[in-house]
Structure 1
């Protein structure tokens, strides 16, 4: 997989201090990773690279919305996203990305590509269950929700349930109230 040039930061020419990089993310970015869960995306990624004499510190922040389908109704809706991530880049003998928060690159490197970190930051910000806000507050009018309600098991009235209980349980219930 060839890296995207826009996400390659040449840090050799940068002065010691903080440097800001802003990225606008749309579906073309996710097509590169063959990730097709988003119908549309409008995300802003802000990266602050702080160059120090012996290491680099990167702070990633993402905010915006992605249009996804609801897991319950399959209706599209806009899911707001916000996430942040910190990465420390050190220099060593060989490339090592085994630790989540620390990246070790060889001494001769002069640039770093951050596209994988941006991708993971966005995808991991998604909730595990995507629920349309109209499902939660009851304002969504959907054929699927009506069918689910029709097919759901009906709860018996509490009075009917009490009449059908075994009388032996009543003496056990008295033990709870006798304290």
Structure 2
């Protein structure tokens, strides 16, 4: 017979110890990169990657990040555009768009919250969406270029031992819970 109560206690103990470790981490130190969705193209993408590299970002480090909309926007139009793209791509696995969050996110200017344990520059590329692939990401080039959104990518590299990379997911949960992004699910 499955020992749910015993397993629940073990899991709760593990979660408590993880949260205690998260509480001891230094707060994220965000830097930013600003761009307009109407400017998404390969040339600009390459210049944005260079800026990220100049700011010390490489593909070996864990990074916590979020996209904030700095311009005026209509959340319902973003939801509609994402839903339309999802309908168009139904049955195809080339473009995988993030989950649309509930109406509580409509007062938020945060588009998406994420983290990656490595390959941040590649993750940024999937979010820009110049070359769509089979990874859930914003895929901005596929739907957002008509909006002319002014976005800030806020990113915070972390120096964590490999065995503590799972803590970054907990930090992502903190951001997701408080920032209430328009798109994307918490942790994965």
Please tell me the TM-score bracket, short chain as reference: under 0.3
Structure with more of its chain in strand, by fraction: 1
Q: TM-score, normalised by structure 1?
A: 0.24
Higher relative contact order (CA 8 A, sep 6+): 2
Q: If you compute each CA radius of gyration, which structure gives the higher value, 1 or 2?
A: 1
Q: TM-score, normalised by structure 2?
A: 0.23
